[in-house]
Structure 1
Amino acid sequence: MKIKTRFAPSPTGDLHIGGVRTALFNYAFAKKNNGLFVIRIEDTDISRSTKESTTIITSAMDRLSMQSDEPIVLQSQNTKKYQEIIDTLLKSGNAYKCYCNKQRLEDLKITKKKEKKTYKYDGKCRYNKEDKNLPFVVRFKNPQDGRVEFDDLIKGKIIIENSQLDDFIIARSDGTPTYNLCVVVDDITMKISHVIRGDDHLSNTPKQINIYKSLGANIPKFAHLPMILGEDGKRLSKRHGASSVLQYLDDGFLPSALINYLARLGWSHNDLEFFMPDDFFKIFNLKNVNKSAAIFDPAKLLWLNQQHIQKTDKQEIADKLLQFLEKHNIKATIDEKFLFLIEAFQPRAKTLVEMALMCKNYYKDFNKYDEKAAKKNFNRDAIEPLECFIKNINNIDNFQKDEIKTQIQITLDDLKIKMPHLGMPLRAALTGGSFSPSIEIVAYILGKQTTIKRIKNAIKYIEAFA
């Protein structure tokens, strides 16, 4: 049987870290084994599912380059198939209509609580064969003896006694099917070979296996991933700094960094910390997934993102950076000057948002200097070197890096000063701060007119405030 995995989110909100890690492990397992990865949107909960959330999910998966190998499936389009299976289970005696009202069930729960016993439906309607003109739900007739055994590919052998399981509902009183039925029907229809999901679904697995058996269908392999916790040991949430995946991407995190970090949340390969997606897909296996919960560390994610920015080709960074510059109303083009900036800021920027801010002053005039840079570099002694440099570059017809560098040296020689006496105030004048590419590259990027204008502005600032 060809390996086929699925990612099956519910479209009830944003796509968060835990969901994307589940998608990633399904995708990686399929790719490693020359299989198929498919996306299924579980939108049968009409009251909570939205088209907007579906769009958010598919957009996030596209931006992470984890597209479905087949057309995306919407559960809401399979209602006819679910009803056919419910009818089949009723006819075969593997399901029954339950006419118990809410009050009776509530009383049963109260009784079990008083007896300090786990609530289970008591099977009152299990053997009823008479159709009544009353509202009803459909329950799966779970075996009362025997056990469910399966080898979880992460957790090992799991054994659940059938006596522990309930006759759970597979169709509500309005006729809509429930989760446990839908996923089984869909996984059979889609020929899913491996179900890889969070271990919060572990309690559903024996119920679903019994449905598979009642339908005479092949049972897929199961692998339940450990939970992701915050640094306080509690279930991961926004208070731990975990945003939606789209928010991370919009905040300037690279898809490759997110994949790298999420892969390391509960999976390891020797001491390997840094890797690109294609490398991960080649070495991934479920044997190296940890059984214990993973801890989400925002600082580690930020560090990894910086590593990926440093090691990603500057052309690729440039392509991605354009959209972040557009948020500052900057329409840059990828040319030699732009790539000089990328190369200069790759070692320093932790995110693309940060890199865009570093680039901003090269495209837009500024009226405020970095306070520390101005205090350190703007003094009366800086005026003469700055004025001399203006005079020297005025003579340049071809404003190129080498010629600018020559004029810097001429200025130093004319005034018999060392580079810091010119370079530090000049850098602050041209960029507003204390870090930049080399001065000749900065001036070349800005162009002759802007370079002279910014130096003159700095001289005015010094005369006014120094």
Structure 2
Amino acid sequence: MNSQLQNNDKMIRTRFAPSPTGFLHIGGARTALFNWLFARHHGGQFLLRIEDTDRARSTQAAIDAILDGLGWLGLDWDGEAISQFARAERHAEVAYALLERGHAFKCYCTTDEVQALRDEAFAAGRALRSPWRDRDPADAPADTPFTVRFKAPDSDVVLDDAVQGQVRWAAKEFDDLILLRSDGTPTYNLAVVVDDHDMEITHIVRGDDHLVNGARQSQIYDAMGWDKPVFAHVPLIHGQDGKKLSKRHGALGAEAYREMGYLPEGLRNYLLRLGWSHGDQELFSDAEAIAAFDLGGLNKAPARMDIDKLNHINAHHIGQADDARLTELVLPFLDTLEDRIDADDITRKRLMAAMPVLKTRASTLAELAGQNYFLLRPRPFVLEGKAAKPLKDDESRERLYRLFTHLGDVDTWTEAALSDALKEFAETEEVGFGKVGQPLRAALTGGAPAPDLALVMTFIGRDETLGRIQDQMTPIATA
């Protein structure tokens, strides 16, 4: 049976369940994306649960960062986010139900006794088994703290996974898992099973570092007589060196990629292809991704983080993005440029005019800001170094003066008319176009990256073009 179609008599429900101990890690963002796509593909629901039971490490700032990261990525969830900590009473209720069913027991071992038992079990090549699993509860010492432990079955554990296939573990590999600590608080594997059952989760897509947890959770499902969700454990993302992704590989939070100038749709497209494939298709719109996504496309081999590929995919989405939207998105990145540039009407007008051309030349919004710098840099600017070289000699400066007069006579300020005017001027001067273009480019852009000169003049307009040329015909050019 195709594991992704199991439970097809129910509405498909997936979930993303991060621990709020830090930012939305790039691996977590991919997990959220896969669950979101699968739910949307089937017309189901994508739910969000904050696993905040670790009160010492969970912070509101981390919760806010996760919610903000998901919102920026466009991964909208259905309903309200659920707090796992708020459901502690329900988790304890199920632990006591397992006690009544004979699948759990109270363990009165002290910490030292547990460590001695663990050492003994390790030496024997098996997992810990508490001596209280088969003892009469009546033998329990009075007023002694206890934990509630799951009575690990003596049979092998078999998990049918939509990605990993059938995975088997020997019974001796699983200890008597603590369900409730001595203070009555639930442990992770109990809470996850109860929450996923109560939220009616049908499919769990997550990293394969949870594969053993999947086996433990499968045992609890069986003990409660509950239907199990479909498990799909996806290999973790690796760095280019084949090792588990870490900070040195670029394992940053979603907000870091936003600050570097990646579009949410670009990052979504890239993450989609990290561990999932659909033939040879590399570039996806959201509609295409939702239509194509299924668990059968998930890969068994780890994906490798590749910034060059991310840049390539993001460049495609920048090229497809709405010009007005890009104009507003690029404005904050202008603050990172050499000069302070105000986001006024003139700035927006020039950005909008140039965006159809310049957006095809950038892979991030930061690069796009750099591509637009020539449009917006404040006047007058001083030419230095290589940028000043084309205007160092008197001949070039005198030619620039004659070009200023020639351009002032252009009636129609269009790309075609300006291109013709430049060619005509070079012919009149009886020089190659470089003798005209290099001094003009220096005067107009100050050495900043820019497209064809006729386009540059069109984008900045007649007055700004002539003003910049005139600036370089004054002593400031030799400052």
**TM-score normalised to structure 2 length:** 0.88
Q: Does the Cα contact within 8 Å between 1:38 and 1:69 map onto a contact in 2?
A: yes
Percent identity of equivalent pairs: 37
Greater alpha carbon shift after TM alignment, 278-287 vs 5-14: 278-287
Q: Which of residues 241, 247, 256 in structure 2 aligns to 1:247?
A: 256
> Using a 3 Å threshold, how does the CA distance of structure 1 residues 49 and 438 change in structure 2: closer, same or farther?
same
Alignment of 1:22-101 (within 5 A): 22-101=31-110
**Equivalent-residue separation in structure 1 for 2:181 and 2:475 (angstroms):** 74
1:117 and 1:95 map into 2 onto residues whose CA distance is 23
CA contact (8 A) 1:16 1:244 kept: yes
* Cα distance in 2 for residues equivalent to 1:19 and 1:441: 43
Q: What is the distance in 2 between the residues matched to 1:308 and 1:6? A: 27
Matched, 1:212 2:224: no
Against the structure 1 CA distance between its residues 69 and 341, is the aligned structure 2 distance closer, same or farther, given a 3 Å change threshold?
A: same
Q: What is the correspondence of 1:120-269 to structure 2 with a 5 Å cutoff?
A: 120-130=128-138, 132-144=142-154, 146-269=155-278
> Secondary structure at 2:132's aligned position in 1?
coil
**Cα 1:212/1:463, change in 2 over 3 Å:** closer
Q: Could you report, residue by residue, the CA deviation over 1:357-378 in whole angstroms, capped at 9, with x for unpaired residues?
A: 2223422326454744433565
2:451 paired with 1:437 = yes
Q: Structure 1 residues 323-332 or 38-47, which shifts more?
A: 323-332
What does residue 381 of structure 1 align with?
395
Shift of 1:340: 3.0
Aligned to 2:16: 7
Q: 1:378 touches 1:462 (CA, 8 Å); kept in 2?
A: no
Shift of 1:329: 4.7
In structure 2, the gaps of 5 or more residues are 1-9
RMSD: 2.8
Cα 1:128–1:294 shift into 2, 3 Å: farther
CA distance in 2, matches of 1:126, 1:198: 35
Q: How many residues align?
A: 463
CA deviation string 1:89-113 (max 9, x = no partner): 2333322221211111222233344
Q: Distance in 2 between matches of 1:341 and 1:126?
A: 77
Tell me the secondary structure at the aligned position of residue 361 of structure 2.
coil
CA contact (8 A) 2:126 2:172 kept: no
Partner SS state of residue 131, structure 2: coil
User: Is the CA contact (8 Å cut-off) linking 2:341 and 2:376 kept in structure 1?
Assistant: no
Q: CA deviation at 1:430?
A: 1.3
Q: Give SS of 2:33's match.
A: helix
Cα pair distance change 1:56/1:329, threshold 3 Å: farther
Q: Secondary structure at the match of 1:43?
A: coil
CA pair 364-126 structure 1, distance change in 2 beyond 3 A: farther
Contact 2:40–2:290, Cα closer than 8 Å, also in 1: yes
**Residue 385 of structure 1 contacts residue 422 of structure 1 at CA under 8 Å; is this kept in 2?**
yes
Asked if the contact 1:341–1:437 (Cα under 8 Å) also holds between the matched residues in 2, the reply is no
How far did residue 411 of structure 1 move?
Answer: 4.5
Residues 200-230 of structure 1: CA distance to partner in whole angstroms, max 9, x if unpaired? 1110112212211222222111111012111
Deviating more after overlay: 50-59 vs 429-438: 429-438
Which whole-Å CA distance do the structure 2 matches of 1:419 and 1:244 have between them? Answer: 49
Aligned to 1:108: 117
Equivalent AA in structure 2 for residue 389 of structure 1: L
**Are the equivalent residues in 2 in contact too, given 1:39–1:68 (CA < 8 A)?**
yes
Secondary structure of the equivalent of 1:362?
Answer: helix
Alignment correspondent of 1:363: 376
Task: Compare 157-166 and 412-421 and name the one that shifted more.
Answer: 412-421
Q: Does 1:343 align with 2:356?
A: yes
Q: Which ranges in structure 1 are unaligned for 5 or more consecutive residues?
A: none
Q: Name the stretch that deviates more: 259-268 or 392-401.
A: 392-401
Matches of 1:239 and 1:435, distance apart in 2: 31
Q: Matches of 2:440 and 2:369 in 1, distance apart?
A: 22
Distance in 1 between the 2:383 and 2:13 partners? 57
Moved more, 426-435 or 21-30: 426-435
